[in-house]
A = this chain, B = another copy of it.
Amino acid sequence: MELKKHVQDLLVIEVTRLNKRHFLLDLRAPEKFPLILPGQFVQVLVQGSASTFLRRPFSIHSVDYSRNTLRLLVQIKGEGTRHLAELKTGDHLNLIYPLGNSFSLPFTKDVLLVGGGCGVAPLLFLAQFLNQNNIRPTILLGFRTKEEVSEIETYSRFGNVHVITDDGTEGEKGLVIDHSMFQRERLDFKKIYCCGPDAMMKAVAKIARMHRIECEVSLENTMACGFGVCLCCITPTDKGNERVCMEGPVFNINRLTW
């Protein structure tokens, strides 16, 4: 199994707007994909602006090996993501990929995926992957508001989806940790995978610890290279400062200083 990193121009197949702030980007590689694992990310070169000098990291949202395409789920934040939103079918985008480690396979079938905001991105790929390994996870997705709830049908193919929105306009109301599934005395999960804003992951980690559930989180960080050479993206772990782009982005919460 090849795990080599590539620098490659990928063809933009489609840009699908999900809502005001989010869109999907389907990209096709010129040659057969290497092995890509759930939790890995890509570094995208955004051309066309002086304020997007460095590449931008995005998790791999899903991979279709048969069509040789991968999908990104992007939230518009600043100049770089705004530029990406304006890409058209037929454009090219330069990627370094696949980068980072990956979620580990669980030794259980009682799996919960928790995602919030654009942190849901790697969870779809993970859910796919778990399915291939005969695991149908519970999936809890948090959104700001109804308008931003999206791809529920896609997720539902791979797991049992629960939705919660900040304003209660769809599903339950509150932050993901406010969801009723966490309010019980005993949780039925043996493994939680979580991805989202730092504060959310920390809150979920706290719940996981309380219930002694194994938990992996996918960290964000400011990255310059994305492949381990600049040491800009470190996070303190039980082994000292580790690189989020190499030893991560996925960490077992037991290894973090949280």
Interface residues of A (CB under 8 A from B): 47-50, 53
Of chain B, the residue at the smallest CB distance from A51 is B50
Chain A residues touching B, majority SS: loop
Instruction: Name A53's contact: one of B47, B48, B50 (CB within 8 Å).
Output: B50
Q: Give, as a whole number of angstroms, the nearest-CB distance from A54 to chain B.
A: 12
7 A-B pairs with C-beta separation under 8 A? A47-B48, A47-B49, A48-B48, A48-B49, A49-B50, A50-B50, A50-B53
**CA of A49 to CA of B83 in the docked complex: distance in angstroms?**
12
**CA of A143 to CA of B123 in the docked complex: distance in angstroms?**
61
Chain B residues within an 8 Å CB radius of A47: 48-49
**CA of A53 to CA of B47 in the docked complex: distance in angstroms?**
15
Q: Give, as a whole number of angstroms, the nearest-CB distance from A51 to chain B.
A: 9
Top 6 closest A-B pairs, CB basis?
A: A48-B48, A50-B50, A48-B49, A50-B53, A49-B50, A47-B48
